[in-house]
Structure 1
């Protein structure tokens, strides 16, 4: 199995993988055409690769399209697992819509900029001053109820299986759980089976084959917040290698089948044990 990669860091441990700088897409067309897989292309490349060269890409096309921003993601969640999605209002950023959302959302609530990551672009709205500041910075109004939590879960799924997971506890500001925003890791508390089952279901339904899912638990009930197609590997020691092993097993199994079906019973990667 031959692969080309546009992300050297994420494919460092994969054999028979040739790295191509993203800006050399056209120069390296011949090598790309002979590859079995194209790994971690940039978003601007995927239509040309999938529809132009008919290449199989990893992560999946669904992971790219649905994970492109929080609006696309949340609407997909609302259709496939509506009972596990926090109450969310999404509107064009106009004065009329801003006033209507302000009247509907009880304080405090969360507002997000749709294309943001690592906890950036997430606002806690406690006053009209907070609301005005948010509205000045976002092209789209995206608001959610504030769930009563002090931590959330990061669950990493590759090829339909859980690779690992951990709790992310709130940082110094008492709001963000992201490690990049001062959050901390808790690996001692077991991963709730309900959360694991939810993300595996959503990954299967939406064909998301590489993602870090963020889940909030409220009285034992899981709420799906978002997923990151390109998640960090800093939460747990050895996580990068385990993710690479899972990617390789997934690609080899799909390559042997000649398709992208993740439900092959011969997939050699065993599921990760879940503590309840």
Structure 2
């Protein structure tokens, strides 16, 4: 395979891979057109690469588009797994909408900024003053029911396979499970329903490189979000991610037998 990468660190050790700086991509249009795969471009490059140069990109375009914005992500979750999506209100940030959300959401509840990661841009709203501070900083109101958990599950998906799954315990200051905010990784076995949910949703949405965050409540898995570019702190299998990516690219490059039966899809929601 002829590969071109825009992220030297995420593709370190990949064979037959040319690395190009994102800002210089228009100097390499012929190489990009000839490549089998273009790996880890910046979000702002997508339209030029996919629609202009007809490149095949990894992660998939759906991984970029859906993963770029929590509002679009939540609506996608609601479309394919509504009973596994926490109750969420998304409204314009106006006086009437602020009161509407405040009156509807039981305390405490979670408010988010649509474009953030690693636990940034997430607030636990416990009183009117906290809601007012959030509203004053938000462009759009995004409020979600609070799930009383002290850990969540990270499921790493590459292609149509689960690479790994592990628990993330809450940080000492509470609320945040993100490792970047002090959360603790635990490799104890996770419920199969969590990995099954992440894999099915990834397949339904066309997402092929993501770390899904899933909460378990009374045996039911709930989709919190996914990150297209996830940290590797919980990946205790050296080289597994790289090999999973290369295997996926190879499989996706090979035409499928039209007589191969489709995978059966279980009914929603997934539950024990």
TM-score using structure 1 length: 0.91
Give the corresponding residue for 1:55: 55
Looking at structure 1, the residues matched to 30 and 172 of structure 2 have their Cα atoms a distance apart, in angstroms, of 51
Shift of 1:256: 2.1
> What corresponds to 2:29 in structure 1?
29
Counterpart in 2 of 1:237? 236
Match of 1:251 in 2: 249
How far off its partner does 1:129 sit?
1.0
For 1:258 and 1:58, how far apart are their aligned partners in 2?
19
Cα displacement string for residues 180-200 of structure 1 (whole angstroms, at most 9, x for unaligned residues): 001001112x11011111111
Q: Describe the SS at the equivalent of 1:26.
A: helix
Unaligned 5+ runs, structure 2: 262-271
1:223 counterpart = 2:207: no
Q: How many angstroms does 1:229 deviate by?
A: 0.5
The offset of 1:237, in angstroms, is 2.5
Correspondence for 1:268 = none
Query: Given that residues 165 and 195 in structure 2 are in contact (C-alpha distance below 8 angstroms), is that contact kept between their aligned partners in structure 1?
Result: no
Distance 1:37 1:187 in 2: 33
**Which aligned segments of 4 or more residues in structure 1 are displaced greater than 3 angstroms?**
none
- In 1, the alpha carbon distance for the partners of 2:73 and 2:44 equals 18
Counterpart CA distance in 1 for 2:40 and 2:18 is 12
Aligned length: 262
Query: Aligned-pair distance for 1:258?
Result: 8.1
- 1:77 aligned residue: 77
SS at match of 2:44: helix
Q: 1:168 Cα shift? A: 0.4
Task: Provide the rounded CA distance (Å) in 1 between the counterparts of 2:20 and 2:233.
Answer: 25
| Gapped regions of structure 1 (runs ≥ 5) | 266-275
Residue equivalent to 1:2 = 2
**Secondary structure of 1:18's aligned partner:** strand
Aligned Cα RMSD in Å?
Answer: 1.8
Q: How many Å separate the matches in 2 of 1:82 and 1:254?
A: 29
Q: Which residue of 2 aligns with 1:95?
A: 95
Task: Tell me the equivalent position of 2:86.
Answer: 86
Quick check: 2:210–2:227 contact (8 Å CA) kept in 1? Answer: yes
